Structure 1
Amino acid sequence: MNENDSAEPLFDFLGLQNKTILVMGVANKKSVAFAISKTIRQAGAKVIYTVRSESRKESLARLLGDSEMIVCDVEDQSQIDSLKDVLTDRGVVLDGLVHSIAFADYPEGIRPFHETTRQQFLQAVDISAYSLISVCNALKDRFSKNASVVTIGISTTRMASESYGFMAPIKAALQSSLAFLTKSFSRFSEVRFNSVSAGLLKTSASAGIPGYVDSYLYAEKVIPRGRAVSTEEVASTAAFLLSPRSSGIAAQSIVVDAAMETNYFDAKLIEAVTAQDID
């Protein structure tokens, strides 16, 4: 018997064994939040979930099994406060938080950015960006001293992608807040705030965005390896950022796009476009 045949458990490289992580944003099995929770559970972490509503809790019962789920609609501050009370009453100490929450209302489909209504924009900011600030403020006494907070951003907030509507500026606000949260929390803790800035993903939520599927297929052509980023790849990066192994990384947005941003001027793509123009 060699040393690799030993029955000893594998070394806990990530250091997530027995860590308690709060995961917000699971909608179904295709959710980024679910992929992250699956990865960190495999690494030995204990996961507590928050879900938007009682109906969502019921629909996820089979997927999440006997895992603890707490209803928390982040549009309602009283529910965020209630989440804090529940965790406090149970004496829960959080070693990490996954914030994978985003919402944008497109009642008339994707329209030019300058036609975005005040209500659309402010609701999207509230749910997709401000919720991170509000939740972290409410839970500040529930975090362990060196807890890690990870949110989900996008690979670039400066590309005016028409298929993403007005969400890029919202994600820019989310990602900018990481530095300010890291700074303000540093007054009393070593909690870190980072984001996984993902390329285009195949999720149920993204599929509902008008025009997104075509952009996803285009991204597969741009990415050098010829296939899009998977939720599992995003989850692996998030798991690393949640772990003590990433203790020196704070206030950063880690881009996971399989080098898409390096390949927009691929010769074959240029040839395909110019050939169409000639025709």
Structure 2
Amino acid sequence: MSDSEPVFDFLGLSGKTVLVMGVANKKSVAFRIAKILEQSGAEVIYSVRSEARNESLGKLLNGRRTIVCDVERQTEINALAKTLADDKVRLSGLVHSIAYADYPEGIRPFHETTRSQFLQAMDISAYSLTSICNALKDIFEPDASVVTIGISTTRMASESYGFMAPIKAALESSLAFLTKSFSRFSEVRFNSVAAGLLKTSASAGIPGYVDSYLYAEKVIPRGRAVETDEVASTAVFLLSPRSSGVTAQSIVVDAGMSINYFDAAIVGAVTAAEVD
């Protein structure tokens, strides 16, 4: 192809405006999604949790528009929506990459989860999606796409993930109900990328996560873990008009881990260790 030939915008994202919520650092899934969006010609507006976070991201997001919004505070969600509306912003997409769980004493048995821990995690990690979308409903384009980040399975009782799997299950269930309620006045779509274990700064802080990550590398058929950009690329596809027929779905990106738990080599290693 010659330099004079136009580049075909396969994803149809050029000129679209997408709000990305949840960037913490350069390893964040949200940041990788935003970078691919920008490379695809989209305009990205960033929403970060606090002024302190905004300052820490100053160099990384230099020249980009950022808005502070702590999703635990409805007033800040409302202010975010008002700021965008006042600026006549029309959103073609929203990335909800927000999750938080408090483990002050490390990972404990699920039945010892406190009410305050569970409700805070539910508020930030699951309910915030509904609250944000309700606040932004009037500035979404009629065919906008909303993408959140889930986990590859909410049915596995992984001790290293504490009580977050039930929270993510609630987030995943919300997709169907948001799709249905928004269908009364729009074609806005709601999907999730259900990611396998990733090497991010946030995950590294979860007690026991690193060992689970190393185990995942053994179970995954290709012998290496899921990369953050693989999750990000799937999210960008879901944000694009190319995925217009996909809604209320969780797309699993685990590099085949879920089909390989009984790999002969792994089973052999475990049973040999038990004999020893």
Match of residue 21 from structure 1: 18
Partner SS, residue 100 of structure 2: coil
Q: Which amino acid aligns with 1:177?
A: S
Partner SS, residue 63 of structure 1: coil
Deviation of 1:9 after TM superposition, in Å, equals: 3.3
- For 1:194 and 1:10, the matched residues in 2 are separated by 28
Establish whether residue 150 from structure 1 lines up as the match of residue 147 from structure 2: yes
Q: Deviations over 1:90-140 (max 9, x none)?
A: 000000000000000000000000000000000000000000000000000
Match of residue 54 from structure 1: 51
- For 2:88 and 2:177, the matched residues in 1 are separated by 28
Establish whether residue 97 from structure 1 lines up as the match of residue 94 from structure 2: yes
- For 1:189 and 1:82, the matched residues in 2 are separated by 23
Describe how 1:84-233 pairs up with structure 2 within 5 A: 84-233=81-230
Q: Deviations over 1:152-204 (max 9, x none)?
A: 00000000000000000000000000000000000000000000000000000
Match of residue 255 from structure 2: 258
Deviation of 1:5 after TM superposition, in Å, equals: 2.5
Partner SS, residue 59 of structure 2: helix
Q: Deviations over 1:215-268 (max 9, x none)?
A: 000000000000000110001000000000000000000000000000000000
Q: Percent identity?
A: 77
Scaled by the length of structure 1, what TM-score is found? 0.98
Q: Deviations over 1:31-79 (max 9, x none)?
A: 0000000011100000000000001001111001110000000000000
- For 1:151 and 1:217, the matched residues in 2 are separated by 25
Runs of 4+ in structure 1 off by over 3 angstroms are none
Match of residue 63 from structure 1: 60
- Unpaired runs of at least 5, structure 2: none
- For 1:196 and 1:143, the matched residues in 2 are separated by 20
Q: What is the aligned residue count?
A: 276
Scaled by the length of structure 2, what TM-score is found? 0.99
RMSD of aligned C-alpha atoms?
Answer: 0.5
Deviation of 1:6 after TM superposition, in Å, equals: 3.7
